[in-house]
């Protein structure tokens, strides 16, 4: 069994993961099970928020090696935006009604990124920002 760890590292080195770590869980196979798909979106949103906080923190407090340059921050913002757009597209493909009340609550509480391009800043029609 000690060979498995070595073999896994070898395969990962030969076939690196090409996608963003933020969207790694957004596998189309997960769409077959809504609960799994929703959890994948939750992880993507949570990881995006974590990266955003780290990026903001790094911009506010100089790192040990020196201040973070604008290129690194811009890369993080672009990566976060791409991940949230992919998460929004992914969650829109989840079909079928929730099977249980627990799944209904989970689906309703899943954060969805706002899309200003869709009008009303992503809010439902008739709602104002202060509501």
Q: Are 56 and 72 in contact (CB under 8 A)?
A: no
* Burial of 129 from C-beta contacts in 10 A (0-12 / 13-18 / 19+): exposed
What is the predicted pLDDT for the residue at 130? Answer: 45
**Alpha-carbon gap, residue 80 to 43, rounded angstroms:** 13
Q: Each residue of 18-36: pLDDT tens digit?
A: 678 888 889 888 888 888 8
Closest to 79 (Cα-Cα) out of 47, 112, 39: 47
What is the predicted pLDDT for the residue at 42? Answer: 92
Q: Each residue of 71-121: pLDDT tens digit?
A: 456 568 889 999 999 999 998 888 777 677 877 777 677 666 555 555 544
Closest to 25 (Cα-Cα) out of 114, 106, 91: 91
Q: Is the dihedral of CA 131, 88, 86, 99 positive or negative?
A: positive
Stated pTM of the model: 0.59
45-49, 54-58, 85-89, 125-129: which range is least confident on average?
Answer: 125-129
Residue 131 — pLDDT band, cuts 50, 70, 90? very low
What is the predicted pLDDT for the residue at 121? Answer: 47
């Amino acid at each position: 069994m000690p060979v498995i760890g070595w073999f896994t590292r070898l395969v990962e080195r030969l076939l690196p993961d090409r996608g963003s770590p933020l969207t790694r869980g957004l596998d189309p196979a997960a769409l077959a099970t809504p609960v799994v798909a929703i959890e994948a979106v939750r992880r993507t949103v949570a990881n995006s928020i974590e990266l955003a906080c780290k990026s903001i923190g790094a911009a506010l407090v100089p790192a040990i090696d020196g201040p973070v340059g604008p290129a690194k921050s811009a890369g993080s913002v672009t990566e976060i935006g791409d991940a949230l757009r992919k998460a929004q597209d992914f969650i829109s493909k989840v079909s079928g009604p929730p099977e249980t009340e627990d799944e209904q609550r989970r689906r309703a509480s899943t954060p969805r990124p706002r899309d200003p391009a869709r009008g009303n800043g992503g809010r439902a029609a008739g709602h104002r920002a202060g509501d």
